[in-house]
Chain A
Amino acid sequence: MNDKILKKSKAFFDVYERKSGSDKLTTTYCPGCGHGNLHKLIAEALIDFNAADKSIFISPVGCSVFAYYYFKTGNIQAAHGRAPAVAVGAKRAHPESIVISYQGDGDLAAIGGLEILHAANRGEGITVFFVNNAIYGMTGGQMAPTTLIGQKSMTTPRGRTLKNEGYPIKMSEIIATLEAPVYVERVMIGDAKSIRQARKAVRKALKLQIEKNAFCFIEVLSACPSNLKMDPKQGIKWVQDVLQKYYPLGVKKDISEEFERKDVSRDNFDPSQLQNILNITESKIDKGKIEQFKNNEFTHEFRIAGFGGQGVLSLGTVLSEMGMRHDYQVSWIPSYGPEMRGGTANCSVKISDKKIGSPLVANPTVLIAMNGPSLDKFENDVISGGTIVYDSSLIDRKPIRDDVNIIPIPATKMADELGTTKAANMIIIGALIKKLGILSIDVVLDSLGEVMKNKKLVELNKKALLKGIEYIKSL
């Protein structure tokens, strides 16, 4: 096995052309650094499993940022902490590929804490290699979330304390508590024996992705002699003697036997079905009927208001849809934001034969008030000569304005007679259509089937509409 590790894997470039400077044969890693050894184990496995060509290696920000100098795989360099998220984007795009998310302890356990947690929790079909060297290597030896209590670093010059920095974080144990991860193990780049164990873990994790798209998490205790201010041998010894004490090696979770291959494929799609899928259908309304009826030179601006649940917003959309089917210009805009308080809802609708500039309605030509507060709030906004339609079964006062048309409709009561309070809005639409004369009753009745999302309600709504129309006729 040692032979194999020493011989350069075919998953590495022969010459590191991407590396700057004149030395294109050695890596950027310091002597005794765990990264280099772990790279070798991964590269060896990729070749042995014939997977290098279809692998995508996500490198982090940290000393291993330049993994793409070495790995002859697809390479994507991610922002600090985000390698698992980037890996998700890649794996979902290419479910057949082998995606490796490689991170340091600052990258994974500090700034990227959320991304790894959720990638693990979703059981993404990726393999995570987590290099825990208990320090920020690249930035010059600051404290990592994994730095030991008492360990000195540039940002814990007197040693990490419980009081100020709290406990070092045990990521493998945390990840192992989640349901989805299939195999979680902590290994070490220490003596030959520990490297053999690390090799086994690396291979098992990659194999599990290749065969089952299993999420596996391998934490690798690793030396950063440069920042520990030790020589390579001392560094490795420190990992074995000190770091390992706090971070016990071993399998933290393994359900690989019973785990069934995860299907990460996407659903089939027939592009010829696109219009159906997007519900884009041609209106079947008889154009002749529309032409006969069409009005010119008008703009109606509606304010429709009431309690949430009274169908205020849908009153507006149905009215707009009917207008659209007459080839008028229409716009609908809901109250949202500061206006939306206390369970009341309102929307504004414009219907015009001309292009609509602002879709906002300040002074409606028609106010539809479905409850008392709405009448109180909007009565004064209605333009002189405009119309106020209100639900007289719910509002006990009459509008005060004497310069507008007032139409009381006991819509809720009438709807109850039809068997459902919810039809009140349709009764009002019927009344409006009759009153305003901008929409053809024929076309409206024909359109209901297209406009109503719930097809079961078409007949009931037709009845409600007609009831509203009859009511106006009877006035």
Chain B
Amino acid sequence: MAKQFLKGNEAVVKGAIIAGVNSYYGYPITPASEIAHAAAKYLPLVGGTFLQAESEIAAINMVYGAAASGERVMTASSSPGISLKQEGVSYCAGAELPCVIVDISRAGPGLGNIAPEQSDYNQVVKGGGHGNYKCIVLAPNSVQEMCDFGILAFDLADKYRTPVYILADGFIGQMMEPVEFPETVPDIPKKPWAILGTKETCVNVITSIELDPDDLEKHVNKLQKKYQIIEEQEVRVDEYRTDDAEIVLVGYGIASRIAQSVVDQLREKNIKAGMLRPKTLFPFPKKQIDKLANSVKSFLTVEMSNGQLVDDVRLIVNGRKPVHLYSRVGGNVPSIKEVHDEVMKIMRVS
């Protein structure tokens, strides 16, 4: 199929449209606004709804209403806006409503700045809102993946009746790369549970309330069971030159693009470096990291957050090997040279 040179933020919308998205509700915020711009441009043309909501809170609750009504629906925002959406995402998870949330994350805390950061990891990957829930989290590192995950996210959301995040940083949203569009037709499952405004669906109710602790425990356990299946079946990971690697860099999003360049440079110097890139942050590639922990000498996570990712890697490596952290925050992106030097430092010491 034809190639197009696109911004990540536009590609994710085109992917969503190919997936048959019906509606988009969102509130502007840099560096995610082009998603709203593209949705505003295209959704009415494909018989859908675009609405600029009065706030991120309103937007996620419109998403909740549309998802309850059986639609493929999405919203997008950046970090402060995601903070505001969290209650609504928790409701979606509790009521088992499929929807897609794109987070083009920026630097915090507070107003921070609009430059890329990966400090939403915890609030997106660990549930984020109240209650015992998790969302599937896809972490694209290219514009092509913004498009591909824009499609995949809806399929997973419907398959598991769960909110799905696409977590990207400001650079993945802002950069342009060629995209090849797949020739797929949306494969939307029937949703017999949805509210369609018909006689047949009058027996349906969408709610997350369970007054009785035993009932709620049953419901929460059912959710955990679902997350377990997701962990078994939906891990996606990219391993780059890890076969004989002595040090493995772990990173996602833009950090993984840098890590990959570092690996190439190191390999030219015959240093056995590799990279593991989680494409899904939940489910996290536990098995793959666990396996590498037996063969490598050390790990280095490269992240634009204060060790949020390294915690998860360490949990799996469990002390078997050193897991180092290279972190830049505040909107700074680690340079190839910095990361390269960090690896050299680690290799010299060990």
Contact = CB atoms under 8 A, between A and B. Distances in A.
What is the interface of chain B mostly: helix, strand, loop, or mixed? mixed
A357 B336 CA distance: 10
B18 A96 contact: no
Interface in A11-35: 18, 20
Contacts of B272: none
Given A77-B207, A362-B335, A86 B2 contact: no
B197 A89 contact: no
Interface string A191-212: 0000000000000000000000
A257 B233 CA distance: 58
B17 A278 contact: yes
A298 to B, nearest CB: 15
Contact of A20 (B1, B73, B174, B211): B211
Contact of A56 (B55, B58, B71, B195): B195
Contacts of B331: 337-338
A269 B175 contact: no
B168 to A, nearest CB: 13
Contact of A72 (B53, B87, B115, B202): B202
Name the interface size band of chain A. 35 or more
Contact of B209 (A54, A65, A93, A266): A65
A268 B209 CA distance: 37
Contacts of A216: none
Interface residues of B, number: 86
A89 B47 contact: no
Given A269-B45, A332-B175, A359-B171, A79 B257 contact: no
A267 B202 contact: no
Interface string B180-205: 01000100000000011111011111
Contacts of A118: 53-54, 58
B261 A336 contact: no
A285 to B, nearest CB: 11
B46 A77 contact: no
A86 B178 CA distance: 37
B226 to A, nearest CB: 21
A127 interface: no
Contacts of B177: 330-332, 359
Interface in A343-379: 356-360, 362
Nearest to B57: A82
A93 B66 contact: yes
B61 A76 contact: no
Interface string B51-95: 101110111011111111111010000000000000110010001
A324 interface: yes
Interface in A83-103: 85-90, 92-94, 96-99
A60 B95 CA distance: 15
Interface in B91-122: 91, 95, 107, 113-116
Given A266-B47, A337-B170, A357-B264, A52 B64 contact: no
Nearest to A334: B174
A74 B202 contact: yes
Contact of B5 (A73, A117, A330, A356): A330
Contact of A331 (B14, B23, B176): B176
B131 interface: no
Contacts of A267: 44-45, 47
Nearest to A118: B54
B115 A337 contact: yes
A330 B54 contact: no
B171 A283 contact: no
B14 A278 contact: yes
Interface in A321-340: 321, 324, 330-334, 336-338
B333 interface: yes
Given A280-B1, A280-B4, A282-B2, A74 B197 contact: yes
What is the interface of chain A mostly: helix, strand, loop, or mixed? mixed
A75 B206 contact: yes
Interface in B1-19: 1-5, 14, 17-18
A283 B46 contact: no
A266 B115 CA distance: 37
Contact of B68 (A52, A76, A82, A333): A76
Given A330-B177, A332-B175, A68 B205 contact: yes
Contacts of B301: none
B42 interface: yes
Contact of B205 (A75, A356, A359): A75
A82 B66 CA distance: 13
Contacts of B73: 89
Interface string A277-320: 11111110000000000000000000000000000000001001
A189 B146 CA distance: 54
Nearest to B97: A76
Given A74-B201, A86-B61, A277-B42, A20 B212 contact: yes
Contacts of A117: 54
Contact of B195 (A74, A88, A114, A357): A74
A337 B169 CA distance: 12
B336 A358 contact: yes
B61 A333 contact: no
B65 A86 contact: yes
Given A53-B202, A77-B205, A360-B335, A280 B175 contact: no
A446 interface: no
A78 B68 CA distance: 10
B2 A337 contact: no
Given A283-B2, A333-B174, A58 B65 contact: yes
Contacts of B175: 331-334, 359
A55 interface: yes
Contacts of B211: 20
A74 B23 contact: no
A436 interface: no
A99 to B, nearest CB: 8
A282 B180 CA distance: 10
A56 B31 CA distance: 36
B46 A87 contact: no
A173 interface: no
Interface of B: 1-5, 14, 17-18, 22-23, 25, 30-31, 42, 44-49, 51, 53-55, 57-59, 61-71, 73, 87-88, 91, 95, 107, 113-116, 170-171, 174-178, 181, 185, 195-199, 201-209, 211-212, 215, 254, 257-258, 260-262, 264, 331, 333, 335-337
5 contacts: A52-B202, A74-B195, A78-B91, A93-B49, A93-B71
Interface of A: 18, 20, 52-56, 58, 65, 68, 72-79, 82, 85-90, 92-94, 96-99, 114-115, 117-118, 266-269, 271, 274-275, 277-283, 317, 320-321, 324, 330-334, 336-338, 356-360, 362
Please provide the 9 A-B residue pairs with the shortest distance between their CB atoms, ordered closest to farther: A89-B65, A97-B197, A337-B115, A269-B47, A357-B261, A86-B65, A89-B66, A93-B69, A74-B195
